[in-house]
Amino acid sequence: MAREITCLPPVGPGGRRFKAKLKADADIEIERLKSSLQIEAAEHQVRFAKLHKKRGEIIAELYALLVEAHSVADEGVLGDADKTREAFDKILKLSQFIDLNRIYLPPAVCALLDNFTRTLRSSKTKLHVYFSVPRPTEKHAEAYSKFLQEALTGFQSDLPAIREQLEKEFRAMLGVES
């Protein structure tokens, strides 16, 4: 059997107007959608830029605190109780900053910082015990001196590794290192 080919009748004036209106309405909706998507993309970009800026500020401040803590540990505060307290206060300030801002840091840095803060908390407890003794004996003073030396040596060895990781992370954020 032969197939029948049917042609649609030509569109009349009312049909052309309907078709033109339909196309105009579709074009308007497409432009609205494009505009909405552009606004959403801009909002996302602003949020990301603010978060990126905040993260950079946190890393920079943490790095400054690490440098300060490292220099305090390098001062050799073994003989002076006031300098020792001041050193541990600065190092504990660093520990608190780490706890408050770890969400901005990469897991590798957090792992190094966790180890470091565990040492800090242990050291703080031992230091508090030592300073609470009214009249320390010579044996007590020797134990304190040994503890303090170990703690400061630990700080001196941990801090450079943490600083190196932060430097890498910050440079990666800046696009200097991949």
Task: Write out the DSSP string of 78-100.
Answer: TT-HHHHHHHHHHHHHHHHHHHH
Flag whether the pTM goes above 0.85: no
Neighbours of 45 (CB within 10 A): 10
Domains and CATH numbers, the chain: 56-174 (1.20.1440)
Per-residue pLDDT tens digits of the chain, which is 178 residues long:
556 666 555 556 667 888 889 999 999 999 999 999 999 988 888 888 888 899 889 988 988 888 887 777 666 555 566 776 777 777 778 888 988 998 988 888 888 888 777 777 777 677 666 767 777 788 877 877 777 777 777 777 777 778 788 888 888 877 776 5
